[in-house]
Amino acid sequence: MQTIDTEVYRVWDRGVRGFHWINLVSMLGLLGTGLVIYNGKTLGISGDGKVFLKELHVWCGYVFVANLAWRMVQGFTGSHFARWGTILRLDRQYVRELRNYLGSLRDKDRRSYLGHNPLGRLMVIALLLLMTLQAITGLVLAGTDLYYPPLGAWIANWVAASGVDPSTLLPGDKSMVDTTAWDEMRTFRGPFIFLHEQVFFVLMGATVLHIAGVVVAEFKERNGLISAMITGEKRLVKPPVDLPRASEADTDAV
């Protein structure tokens, strides 16, 4: 049997790998609870049941937001391929490399990358933008729907009826709210719930494309792309085209 020599490189640090898997788990929780809430009437979910699901959804959302914030910090403090200077560098050199990569897709001998390939970088940017928008709209809705932080106290003060302690307001109970203020708040909420729902579907579509791209790249390039997000290491048959310079490198062959 013929053996193929490979070089092993450390690519993804623990912070990036941790973000990836926590993000997966939190998004699965958000997906499951979100779909049930979205189809609540069809499924016959009671008012109390819907409030419980929203609370569960928001707690999954807090994990998602905290993890996303950690990834933002990692963009400044993480390893070379996790940094914004690497991911967001969409200059002429990137355009040239994208053309070279797309041209190599028709060849058996594809270009080899340690970090994300040029298409992968675009997908990562799109996913992070979508997740950030989803996080922002979700935090607003946590306040309008459940009086949860960070805007919950402000929303409760806005809608509480005269003489009612805003901290005593209960989600789903409109008996202690000022109807005019409530209607104003719901108008304020409108664009955020619209964006939250629409971005959800776009994000799910982008996630499916991301997973499909990873699976195809794993089979075509055979560089341990999936296992690298567990071990942090990639195994490459030929030298990568994006090997960092010595001054940038925190990626080592082992």
**Residue 169 belongs to a domain with what CATH number?**
1.20.950.20
The whole-angstrom separation of Cα 11 and Cα 182 is 51
The whole-angstrom separation of Cα 27 and Cα 114 is 26
Over the stretch 27-72, which tens digit does the pLDDT of each residue have?
999 999 999 999 999 999 999 999 999 999 999 999 999 999 999 9
DSSP characters over 55-81:
HHHHHHHHHHHHHHHHHHHHHHHS-GG
Cβ 160 vs Cβ 166: under 8 Å: yes
Q: Cα-atom radius of gyration of the chain, to the nearest Å?
A: 23
Over the stretch 156-174, which tens digit does the pLDDT of each residue have?
999 999 999 999 999 989 9
31 within domain boundaries: yes
Looking at residues 219-232, what average pLDDT do you find?
82
Question: How many C-beta atoms lie closer than 10 Å to residue 16's C-beta?
Answer: 19
Model's pTM, two decimal places? 0.90
Q: Which amino acid is at 44?
A: G
Share of the chain above pLDDT 70, in %: 93
Cβ 150 vs Cβ 58: under 8 Å: no
What is residue 1's predicted lDDT score, i.e. its pLDDT?
A: 37
Over the stretch 167-215, which tens digit does the pLDDT of each residue have?
999 998 999 999 999 999 999 999 999 999 999 999 999 999 999 988 8
Lowest mean pLDDT among 4-13, 111-120, 209-218: 4-13
DSSP characters over 186-215:
HHHHHHHHHHHHHHHHHHHHHHHHHHHHHH
The total of structural domains in the chain comes to 1
Distance between alpha carbon 148 and the CA centroid of its chain, in Å?
A: 22
pLDDT band at 102 (very low <50, low <70, confident <90, very high): confident
247 within domain boundaries: no
248 within domain boundaries: no
pLDDT band at 107 (very low <50, low <70, confident <90, very high): confident
Cβ 143 vs Cβ 150: under 8 Å: yes
The whole-angstrom separation of Cα 159 and Cα 178 is 6
Q: What does the block give as tokens for 184?
A: 């104003």
| 3 CB-contact burial (10 Å; exposed 0-12 / middle 13-18 / buried 19+) | exposed
State the chain's mean pLDDT as an integer. 90
The whole-angstrom separation of Cα 25 and Cα 22 is 5
Give just the sign of the alpha carbon dihedral 138, 139, 140, 143.
positive
254 within domain boundaries: no
131 within domain boundaries: yes
Residue 89, CA atoms < 13 Å, CB-side half-sphere: 18
69 within domain boundaries: yes
253 within domain boundaries: no
50 within domain boundaries: yes
Cβ 70 vs Cβ 90: under 8 Å: no
Q: In Å, what is the CA distance from 128 to each residue of 68, 80, 121, 207, 216?
A: 8, 18, 11, 11, 21
254: pLDDT strictly greater than 50:
no
What is residue 250's predicted lDDT score, i.e. its pLDDT?
A: 58
Structural domain that includes position 78: 7-236
- For the chain, the distance separating the N- and C-terminal CA atoms, rounded to the nearest angstrom, is 25
